[in-house]
Amino acid sequence: MIELKKNNKGYCLILQPNCSADWQMNRQIILAVGLVSAVVALGFAAIGAWLILPFAGLEMLALGSALYWVNRHQHHRHILWLEQGLLRIEKGYRWPSQSWQWPVEEVALHVSDDDLSSPLCISLCQGSSQVEIGEFLTREDSQQLISTLRTLGLATRGYSHHDSWQA
């Protein structure tokens, strides 16, 4: 998902994965599956197959852990700030854990298209530094990102198919 915001200093471009369910919805799923699993496990325990109870608990632990991990990764953000001739790239989950700042006129956009079914690989480059952005975006969102970055004035220096760079 791509969101462009304009403020009095410039632009803010927020890139984030599509989020189909929030943590509240995931908790409801865990509760519903847990109730069904508990009823089945207690039924088996009542007829003497009590060994099913720990496995039902492990199943719920695995489901809860998987949903938590997926939910956490849905909060991954890439934020691009274009303000006063500078491009600042921030990556992180709840707050920026990585950050780069470059003059906009020195930044170029590189796009690699491995095949028609996979998302585009988009990188911002300045000199010998290269930062991949939006690797979690869908192909359509990637194309929208490229269009938005071009509209904001970033030059496209390279576009390649099958990992062969063309300058």
Domain ranges of the chain: 2-17+77-160, 23-73
From edge to edge, which strands make up the β-sheet containing 121-126? Answer: 129-133, 121-126, 108-113, 155-161
What is the reported pLDDT for 37?
Answer: 95
In order along the chain (167 residues), what is the average pLDDT of each group of 10 residues?
A: 89 87 88 95 94 94 93 86 93 89 92 74 90 89 91 79 48
| Cross-strand pairs, 6 | 11
Q: What is the pLDDT of residue 163?
A: 47
pLDDT at 167: 42
Confidence (pLDDT) at 103: 93
CA separation, residue 11 to residues 27, 80, 155, 159 (Å): 36, 8, 17, 25
152: which residues sit within 8 A by CB, 6+ positions away? Answer: 11, 13, 82
- pLDDT of 117 reads 63
3-state SS string over 25-69?
HHHHHHHHHHHHHHHHHHHHHHCCCCCHHHHHHHHHHHHHHHHHH
Q: How far is Cα 101 from Cα 108, in angstroms, rounded to an integer?
A: 13
Q: Which pLDDT belongs to residue 136?
A: 87
Which is nearest to 80 in space by CA: 3, 164, 162? 3
Tokens of 159: 């576009």
Residue 7: predicted pLDDT: 86
Q: For residues 40 and 99, give the distance between their C-alpha atoms in angstroms, rounded to a whole number.
A: 50
Structure tokens at 127: 């000199």
